[in-house]
Amino acid sequence: MSKSPLTADDLSRFRWVDHVRLSPSGDRVAYQVTWADMEARQNCGRVLVGPAEPGVPARELGADVSRDHSPEWSPDGTRLAFLSRRGARDQLVVAPADGGEAVVLTAIPDGVSSPAWSPDGRLVAFLGRVLADRDAVVDDPRSPEGEEQTRRPPIARVVRRLDYKRDGVGYLDGRYPHLFVVAAGGGEPRQLTAGAWSVGGFSWAPDGRSLAVVGDAEPGADLRRTQRLYRVDLDGARRSLAGDLQLSTPAWSPRGDVIAVLAPVDEAGGRLQRIWLAPAGGGEPRCLTAGLDRSVGGTVGSDMRGEHGVRLRWSATGDRLYFQASGPGIAEVLSVDLEGRVTVELPAQRRAVYDFDVEAGRIAACVADATRPGEVFLAVDGEQRRLTDANPWLRDRLVVEPRRHLFTAADGLEIEGWLFEPPGFDPSRKHPLVLEVHGGPHGQYGWTFFHEMQMLAGMGLLVFCTNPRGSDGYGEEFRRACVRDWGGRDYEDLMTALDQLIARTGYVDEERMGVAGGSYGGFMTNWIIGHTNRFAAAIAMRSISNLVSEFAQHDIVLWSEMEMGPQPWPDPDELWRRSPIRYVRDIRTPLLLLHGEMDLRCAVSQAEELFGALRLLGREVEMVRFPGESHDLSRGGRPDRRVERLRRIGSWFAGHLLGREAERPAGATAAGE
């Protein structure tokens, strides 16, 4: 039987495993499985629990609700805390690990996140989004218009701070995430922090009397990039322990003497995330991974999941920290001792680890590669065993394993790339090609699954992706090489790699090439077509067109100075020279702009500005807007909109590179029809 290629409609068939957690004894594993429900037009999920052994099926835990996720084991291994979609938002639930009735512990209208058990198992801490600044919003007192709303839109929003919005969350309306604790058996949650500031992460002290909290509760916090580390007691008393770094991800040592945190060494753009140890009693933090030229965390991009939080996991004895680290096209699990000596614990050859846990000498990890969206693996004494088979249906599809290539930039720098060859590929004839550009700019492509690329390859296109300078995975100097130089040597790297691929292979049809990218990749797509006419079609997703207007427009305003340079007032020349809109009269390539209307990272006005200019100039341009969708549309948006996005991509390249029109969804029309 011949296998069929992947299509946009296959989105509903994927099952995504994530958030793996080992029981304290290491003999059981809990994880979440999510999927796109096209009929309900929402993302659904369940928590699964099973033996940490291959071939033994896991069972579902929880109630018949739309989505359960983010399981965490109790210290004695008898219960699991997890998040459950109740109405419009997630609430905290505790259930027996062996089955039984679940107890709903919260009913906070704007929802909760990040459950964590106290060391004695009596309490569960969590973050709840609550009204903390009543002057920032004039609420509508009427009941919500539907079950999917927590409240009606406010009568008015009053903005006095830069941090009034957050992509994927929306407008904060005076509501901030704060720290709560609640009895694991039920009771009234107790709020430990308050005020117009956000708790960015927390960790229990081993004695269970305090929690380490990252945030900035001081005046003027919205004008600082740094965060503070606080100690918060169960009575709400707060004491500052450390500051002056961009702190995140606290993890209190089992010994109680230090708290591990993540931070770059300074506020310069493109710096690597490093592990620091802060004295639990207060004092100057010490950088533990100063000698490791790799970023802590997993930065290999995929359209199977959104941005993933970084995890720091102490050994039971407190003498070693486990963490993810990104390498060239990969992400793996490493550990570091208290002297800064690093060990590779779970190597990833042609794979990317995107979540993990450590218990009783075992490592459980969620691992993806170029042909699998993700599976749960267990590592014991160096032996790796696969515990799940989440997507067996893929064995009946044409899934392409990309070929790795290395290229040499003009200054001798080595650039890594991958080429997806279409099914039935014939190297003796010419083939159309799509160049894909990743976001970040400090993300990277690598050995992980990409539905969009598989779909394009299945249509008969070569798909080429590279990691130009600025990408993560190749050390800090490489990562910082595009700071204040967007559209400079990074652009040259992309064109040089493409030229070398064309010369090396001999089968790229240079008359039928396309380019596409999202976020920074969308900026680069817009930049490319303003500086060369070699591409027959382009797609810019959640893109940037004007660095001057974008500078103070998005939800991470202070990031702009780190990455772009000084504020553009009163002299906008530097940013204007690197703005794609400046070169709009040179754009002749047919352009499709895809953008979420609630994208607060790269505002939809960036697409509007470029669309309007090109339309006024009489160029071929189309804009597709997705109502209510954030910057994360391609990875976590509403399922029908994710499918529509993929169909639009396929249709645009089919028409311009293959000379045919891809199937549009029933009832859909192009913009302006």
Q: Which two tokens stand for residue 299?
A: 């930065």
Q: Do 285 and 292 form a contact (C-beta atoms < 8 A)?
A: no
Question: Mean pLDDT lowest for which of 146-155, 652-661, 664-673?
Answer: 664-673
Distance CA 656, CA 653 (A): 5
Question: Mean pLDDT lowest for which of 110-119, 502-511, 557-566?
Answer: 557-566
Q: Do 87 and 142 form a contact (C-beta atoms < 8 A)?
A: no
Distance CA 468, CA 497 (A): 9
Given a cut of 50, whether residue 672 has pLDDT beyond it is no
Give residue-wise pLDDT tens across range 53-112.
Answer: 998 999 999 767 889 999 999 999 999 999 999 888 999 999 999 988 999 999 999 999
Strand partners, 369: 372
Task: Report percent pLDDT > 90 for the chain.
Answer: 92
Instruction: Read off the pLDDT band of 307 (50, 70, 90).
Output: confident
Q: Which two tokens stand for residue 161?
A: 């701070």
DSSP class of residue 11 equals G
Query: Where do we find the tokens 């954030």?
Result: 630
Closest CA to 299 of 376, 354, 237: 354
Distance CA 530, CA 71 (A): 48
Q: Do 31 and 18 form a contact (C-beta atoms < 8 A)?
A: yes
Query: Where do we find the tokens 């904060």?
Result: 172
Q: Is 631 a catalytic residue?
A: yes
Q: Residue 184, by phi and psi: left (phi above 0), alpha (psi -120 to 50) or beta?
A: alpha
Give residue-wise pLDDT tens across range 335-389.
Answer: 999 999 999 999 988 999 999 999 999 999 999 999 999 999 999 998 999 999 9
Distance CA 37, CA 66 (A): 10
Given a cut of 90, whether residue 149 has pLDDT beyond it is no
DSSP class of residue 225 equals S
Question: Mean pLDDT lowest for which of 97-101, 213-217, 225-229?
Answer: 97-101
Distance CA 149, CA 152 (A): 7
Indicate which residue of 19, 178, 631, 656 is catalytic: 631
Strand partners, 342: 336
Distance CA 324, CA 294 (A): 10
Q: Do 486 and 551 form a contact (C-beta atoms < 8 A)?
A: no
Mean pLDDT of the chain: 95
Residue type, 378: L
Q: Is 519 a catalytic residue?
A: yes
End-to-end CA, the chain = 40
Give residue 661's pLDDT: 60
Q: Is 35 in a helix, a strand, or coil?
A: strand
The enclosing H or E element of 170 equals strand 170-171
This prediction has a pTM of: 0.96
Given a cut of 50, whether residue 668 has pLDDT beyond it is no
DSSP class of residue 13 equals G
Task: Report percent pLDDT > 70 for the chain.
Answer: 98
- Alpha helices of 232-383 — where are they, by DSSP H? none
Q: How many CB atoms lie within 10 A of CB 252?
A: 25
Distance CA 312, CA 323 (A): 5
Closest CA to 463 of 601, 657, 285, 623: 657
Give the up-direction half-sphere exposure of residue 214: CA atoms within 13 A in the CB hemisphere.
Answer: 22
Give residue 308's pLDDT: 79
Identify which has the larger pLDDT, 142 or 663: 142
Indicate which residue of 253, 326, 519, 579 is catalytic: 519
Assess whether the previous peptide bond of 441 is cis (omega < 30° from 0): yes
Distance CA 264, CA 296 (A): 10
Residue type, 142: R
Q: Is 428 exposed, middle or buried (0-12, 13-18, 19+ CB in 10 A)?
A: exposed
Given a cut of 70, whether residue 582 has pLDDT beyond it is yes
